[in-house]
Amino acid sequence: MPHSTSQYPSLRRTFRWLAVASLSLGASALSAAQLTPFTASYAADMKKIPVNGEAIHSLTMNTDETWNLSFTAGMFVARLSEDSTLRLEDDRVVPLSYTYERRGLGRSRKTTQVFDWTNGVVKGVHKGDTFTLPTEPGLLDKTTYPLALQRDLMAGRTEMTYRVLDGDDIDEYEFKVVGEDRVTTRAGQFDAVEVERVRDPDSKRQTTLWFAKDWNYLLVRLSQVETDGQHYRIMLKEATVNGEPVVGTPVAE
């Protein structure tokens, strides 16, 4: 008998962090002035529940020199997809459009966002309702803030704050570097920087991310603890950057 997703609300967050994990590879391929095409595969598992999922993501250049991020994830009979268009401007990642679609986890949902930087507004549809908001300098969407995070880590920053358009509202995301660690993944071992999501002091939710220093801070592992105690992890399976396989140190047997 299939599991009911209403019993496990954190499954929705698992999908979201699968997206973050795969999207972060785009930032790992960044230099000071360019992006590099990539493909990446990640796996997720949840303790207490016999479930696993996977995600595939790619970054490609369009003919007008904008970039397209294409993402798909699957778990049980559920599917999630995201597509974003972006450009680089003054060495900054600038979102142009974003589409999110989820099917199978309870009710289906679709969100669209179009950034009109010339007129200073972003328009879209979220949960069936249209919205219009003013843009802000540096405003990001749910796919481009991981790119900004990784660029900042490469620049040596240890505390980062981003303004992110989440659905039809703007939220503030904070992160901080808390140390270094040796991380084992399906692609080998990596020397990694450990980063935590900064939350309210009374929050029971915990998010920790590990970025491989020798691969331009590629996200290789993520751990999330929910308020109900559910714990899930995301791990790198395999990836290529500009056609080159991402390989860590072999794990000793």
DSSP 121-149: EEEEEETTEEEEEE--TT-B-TTHHHHHH
CB atoms within 10 A of CB 67: 19
pLDDT at 3: 40
- Beta strand 218-225 with 231-241 is antiparallel
Domain carrying residue 149: 5-242
pLDDT at 17: 53
Residue 147 corresponds to which tokens in the numbers above?
Answer: 């790119």
Sequence-distant (6+) residues with CB within 8 A of 233 are: 44, 45, 221, 222, 223, 224
Residue 216 lies in a domain: yes
Number of Cα atoms under 13 Å in the Cβ half of residue 112: 7
Residue 43 lies in a domain: yes
pLDDT at 4: 38
Residue-level length of the chain? 253
pLDDT at 5: 37
Cα-based distances in Å from 222 to 35, 43, 169: 23, 10, 25
pLDDT at 23: 44
- Beta strand 92-103 with 109-116 is antiparallel
pLDDT at 52: 64
What domain count does the chain have?
A: 1
- Which residue in 87, 94, 47, 93 sits closest to 68, CA to CA? 87
Show pLDDT as tens, one digit a residue, over the chain (253 residues).
444 333 344 445 555 555 554 444 433 334 444 777 887 788 877 665 555 678 777 778 899 989 987 777 776 667 788 888 999 888 888 999 999 998 875 667 899 999 999 999 999 999 999 999 999 999 999 888 887 888 889 889 999 999 999 999 999 999 999 999 999 999 999 999 999 999 988 888 888 999 988 877 878 888 888 777 777 777 889 988 788 899 999 887 6
Residue 250 lies in a domain: no
Residue 50 lies in a domain: yes
Residue 154 lies in a domain: yes
pLDDT at 149: 87
Residue 249 lies in a domain: no
What is the rounded radius of gyration, in angstroms, for the C-alpha atoms of the chain?
A: 18
Residue 252 lies in a domain: no
Residue 253 lies in a domain: no
